[in-house]
Structure 1
Amino acid sequence: MKKQHILGIALAAIFCVPVAMKFTRSEPARAVDVEKIAYRDIKSSVLASGHLLYEEQVLLSPEVIGKVSTIFVKEGQQVAKGDLLLHLDDQSYRAEVAQQEAAVKQQRINIEQQQLNLANQENQLRRKVELHRVKMISDAVIDDGRFAVDAARIELRNSRSRLEQAEAILRQSKERLAKTTIRAPIGGTITALDIKVGETAVASQVAIAGSSLMTIANTSTMMTEVNVDEADIARIVLGQEVAIHTAAYPDTPLKGEVAIIPLSPKQTPGTPQAGASLARSYNVKVKLSDTKALTLRPGMTCRAEIFTASSGKSLSLPLQAVLSNNDENTDVAKKKGSRDKAQVKTEHWVFVNNGGKAEKRVVTVGVSDDSQQQILSGVKAGEGVITGPYKILRHLKPGDAVTGSPAEAPAATTTAATSTT
């Protein structure tokens, strides 16, 4: 009996001890990153790329063909509106004006001649009428006289019409002659001088040699033109704050505000209008409020952050600390299997380090930027929220042992954009 009793105790120990060890053994605490939730100013924004340009800029092109005889300015020179800039050879145009002036004089002489002829025919008709009254001439002679007067009147009207035509041609010739002298249409700086003395200026809408003379710009009207994707254009309104980072001065952001929002998207030459599948963008113009005395030139590329919303001072957490049932990498999302996500209400939560244990807190979120998420409810300022590592955070369960001391939240700053184009 004693041997059987000992054997039973041994068998019980063999089966019970592992089970007891399984329930009494604790998982090792996981090392996590913890950060205290704090108040920050979160600004949601849209990123866009573009370039600098002058708001007031004129590209001068010739309206007539001619060889450049004199250039009165040089690149970089300041000019006022109406200043003489360039002169084309005008000999042929002066000869054309002289020819048309002679044609006008000839037509005026013809009118004088037709007026004399008409007066003569009217006098003859009156004498014929007197003779016809005393039966000295026939009715046919009277009819011929009247016909001659009417013909003289018609010829006079033709001469006057030809005079108007000649005067119109003369005005055109004078206009062409005047266009050989190029004057400044606006006040500004000569930013580009594309032609030299002796070269031939060509009136053309195609970018060929001689079709561009010079460029005048008001350098105090520098602005930015950025391409905003159609998915973000609804969030852009006039007057929104913009931070501009140029490629030449990447560490010096410039301040600006949205000045012009186009009604139609940018059209690319050669792109079919009906291309519904093509990505569309809008050329939004941003006015610079402070250039910080930087040497800015048109054509410089830049990146713009258009701030579309601001949370003010509000509780926020790093984006990676906020989990969601829409995140396919979390265990919660994997357990949903084939359930339709559209029918499941989106839920967000965080894990708080509560005395070495992971405590799940359901939170309400607000606006976000590229690094921070606004928290409207669910946690309090100063609580230590687990922010990573993500490979541990996404598998974390309520009650899991964790270790990690809360780090102080970084200073409240204005963060970057949430969407890009």
Structure 2
Amino acid sequence: MRRPTRPLLLATTALLALAALGIWYGQRQEAPVARAQSTIPVRVVSVAQQDVPRYASAIGSVLSLHSVEIKPQVEGVLTRVLVKEGQWVKQGDLLATLDDRSIRASLDQARAQLGQSQAQIQVAGVDLKRYRLLSSDDGVSKQTLDQQQALVNQLQATVKGNQAAIANAEVQLSYTQIRSPVTGRVGIRNIDPGNLVRASDTQGLFSVTQIDPIAVEFSLPQQMLPTLQGLLKASAPALVQAYMDADGERTLLGEGHLALIDNQISANTGTVRVKAEFDNKDGRLWPGQLVTIRLRTAVQENALVVPPPVVQRGADGHFVYRLDGDKVTSVPVKVLYQDSGLNIIAGVKPGERLVLDGQSRLKPGSRVEVAPDAPPPSEMADGRGQP
């Protein structure tokens, strides 16, 4: 058997040395990568302390405080309509007129009858005085005097009846001028001038609906009844906000106040109806409109506030990841109030930095790399925690 030659031994040694060098170099390159992969990137936010209003939300329907269907109270031909559809009118404005000739004739007839009765009672009164003088000397019988007195009483009653007929005719005549009972907006006209209208008609001429102020009716769970009663008794009216949701955006339509609670709870739904009133000078709230309602029920002072994504839910309840140096610690917390804008929690301290994003890869003791802090909850939720 031939022994390996010296050149072959040298070549083998060189190959082994190169292999060892390659392994050593690869390990040096992988070490930083392994260290880099051991840190998890996260975003954090500081616990804020602030006064937070608390709200109850519901879906409400906008209602007019006064909506009147304009109908005639007497029969007649509609001669004029003095307002246009959509026009704003004030209480007492003349809206329409009816043909009043027949009623005016009846009024003139009643006045003539009154004049006739007044003349008759004047003559009867003079005769009564004469009979009284004659009766003292037995110039007329007692029966004649009594008959004349009865005639005077009868004519007095006739005069009162004539006066009542005149008053009735004047009222009927006033009905031929239809005036607005409220300040509001005229709706779509149903009947045109020239048509005969009656008080018994089922369809009115048009409607007049009050727009400012306006109301919103909504329902809340019966468990909130004590809170609602306390809000009504408070010196300051409870704030109510009305929003409209459209195309993924929420628009504030108006701010009003809690007005009343219904006098009974619905046995079918377990809810109580509530009404709020709004100033509506710009007409953004419209009768029949569905809106989202937020009723401010309280203001919690010095509350510890975080954005909703900070709070996680585990098998044992809610918890957060707190940043301790370059590692995180799981801290159990209690959620006192929550909505889509912020959460009020207990179990942490003001200023502590909590993980906002990246919790899915974390566990207690994980090493993290912190991105720039997120804005505080007050800026994210506009300070009010919009739902």
Smaller-chain TM-score bracket: 0.5 to 0.7
Please state if 1:281 is matched with 2:251. Answer: no
Aligned-partner Cα distance in 2 for 1:247–1:380: 34
Query: How much does 1:163 deviate?
Result: 0.9
Aligned-partner Cα distance in 2 for 1:378–1:78: 57
Greater fraction of residues in strand: 2
- TM-score for both structures, normalised by structure 2: 0.68
Relative to 1, partners in 2 of residues 1:388 and 1:305: Cα closer, same or farther, differing over 3 Å?
A: farther
Please state if 1:150 is matched with 2:150. Answer: no
**Could you say which residue in structure 2 is the equivalent of 1:85?**
95
Contact 2:326 2:369 in 1 (8 A): no
Relative to 1, partners in 2 of residues 1:101 and 1:286: Cα closer, same or farther, differing over 3 Å?
A: same
**Could you say which residue in structure 1 is the equivalent of 2:338?**
368
1:305 to 280, 291, 294: 294
2:45 to 36, 41, 47: 36
Relative to 1, partners in 2 of residues 1:57 and 1:332: Cα closer, same or farther, differing over 3 Å?
A: closer
Contact 2:240 2:258 in 1 (8 A): no
- TM-score for both structures, normalised by structure 1: 0.63
1:225 to 210, 216, 220: 216
One-letter code aligned to 1:378: V
Relative to 1, partners in 2 of residues 1:44 and 1:81: Cα closer, same or farther, differing over 3 Å?
A: closer
Contact 1:48 1:226 in 2 (8 A): no
Aligned-partner Cα distance in 1 for 2:183–2:262: 31
**Could you say which residue in structure 1 is the equivalent of 2:30?**
none
Aligned-partner Cα distance in 2 for 1:355–1:119: 119
Aligned-partner Cα distance in 1 for 2:74–2:125: 39
CA RMSD of aligned residues (A): 4.2
Contact 2:214 2:285 in 1 (8 A): no
Q: Deviations over 1:252-281 (max 9, x none)?
A: 62364333511435xxxxxxx796444321
Q: Structure 2: where are the runs of 5+ without partners?
A: 1-37
**Could you say which residue in structure 2 is the equivalent of 1:177?**
173
Aligned length: 337
**Could you say which residue in structure 1 is the equivalent of 2:374?**
409
Please state if 1:62 is matched with 2:72. Answer: yes
**Could you say which residue in structure 2 is the equivalent of 1:384?**
354
Contact 1:365 1:374 in 2 (8 A): yes
Q: Structure 1: where are the runs of 5+ without partners?
A: 1-28, 130-141, 266-272, 324-328, 334-347
Aligned-partner Cα distance in 2 for 1:177–1:193: 23
Query: How much does 1:105 deviate?
Result: 2.6
Aligned-partner Cα distance in 1 for 2:248–2:196: 42
Where do 1:161-240 residues align within 5 Å? 161-185=157-181, 190-203=186-199, 208-209=202-203, 211-215=204-208, 217=210, 221=212, 223-229=214-220, 230-232=222-224, 234-235=227-228, 236=231, 239-240=237-238
Aligned-partner Cα distance in 2 for 1:402–1:66: 88
Q: Deviations over 1:99-141 (max 9, x none)?
A: 3223323322331342244234334423426xxxxxxxxxxxx
Aligned-partner Cα distance in 2 for 1:275–1:365: 31
Contact 1:34 1:353 in 2 (8 A): no
| Identity level (%) | 21
Query: How much does 1:177 deviate?
Result: 0.8
Query: How much does 1:225 deviate?
Result: 1.3
Query: How much does 1:242 deviate?
Result: 4.4
Relative to 1, partners in 2 of residues 1:169 and 1:365: Cα closer, same or farther, differing over 3 Å?
A: same
Secondary structure in 1 matching 2:260:
coil
Relative to 1, partners in 2 of residues 1:280 and 1:176: Cα closer, same or farther, differing over 3 Å?
A: same
One-letter code aligned to 2:243: H
Contact 1:369 1:417 in 2 (8 A): yes
Please state if 1:253 is matched with 2:251. Answer: yes
Query: How much does 1:172 deviate?
Result: 0.9
Relative to 1, partners in 2 of residues 1:252 and 1:361: Cα closer, same or farther, differing over 3 Å?
A: closer
Query: How much does 1:296 deviate?
Result: 6.1
Query: How much does 1:164 deviate?
Result: 0.8
Please state if 1:122 is matched with 2:118. Answer: no
1:103 to 101, 113, 132: 113
